[in-house]
Amino acid sequence: MDVLQIKGLKLNYGPINAIKGIDINVKEGQIVALLGANGAGKTSTLKVISGLLKPTAGEILFDGKNIAGKAAHKIAKGGIMQSPEGRHVLVGLTVEENLRVGGYNIKDKNKLSENFERVYSLFPRLKERQKQQSNTLSGGEQQMLAIGRALMGSPKVLLLDEPSLGLAPLLIKDIFDTLVKIKKEGTTILIVEQNALATLKIADYAYVLELGKISMHGAANELIKDERLIEAYLGGK
């Protein structure tokens, strides 16, 4: 079943057509990847879904209801949470306080405790550092915190923007292994990434965005063998 459907989505920045009428379907319980080079429109797509930008045209159906143009806090409360590009941890707060901010919509104290336990189980390093100021964390730990903060809101759909950016290969593997666990726990993931190879290894389905248009899409295990994709994004054969 499609939990998220994007139909004919367009976004203009003044005279610039950043997104040119794209269609994306995200099935419940899957990891769906949105791949492409810088400037392709990937981050803009996520920002429109999460309500940070208003689309010029098109529909965004979440559980069958059109959420296009809704306020970001209402979309988050409804079950779509985003871990942004660049992490954007709250530097004046501890790890625990950052996570608590992510769970601001959760009024049930038991549920909030469960969410803390879930995040600390997925990212044990955050539990070790829960009283530490977030600005003292390494880049990898800050990425864990950004993902954990989004999970604190009990999302049905988790939006991830460039989670591998600036991380060492071993850390990328750890983060991506954890994304598979998050999926197995029942959270649907839409991930934007430039690291196509690592992403296709964990994704179920993928779309390639080029200059605001979908240039190809298909099952991730098929796209990873596509010669055009290998040449364009995976550095040759």
Q: What is the pLDDT of residue 235?
A: 53
Length of the chain measured in residues: 237
In 3-state terms the chain splits into helix, strand, coil percentages (rounded to 5) of 40, 30, 35
202 in Cβ contact with 224 (< 8 Å):
no
pLDDT digit string, tens, across residues 107-116: 899 999 999 9
pLDDT in the model for residue 197: 87
Q: What is the pTM of this model?
A: 0.93
pLDDT digits 0-9 by tens, 126-171: 999 999 999 899 888 999 999 999 999 999 999 999 999 888 888 8
Q: pLDDT at position 194, please?
A: 83
How confident is the model at residue 237, as a pLDDT? 44
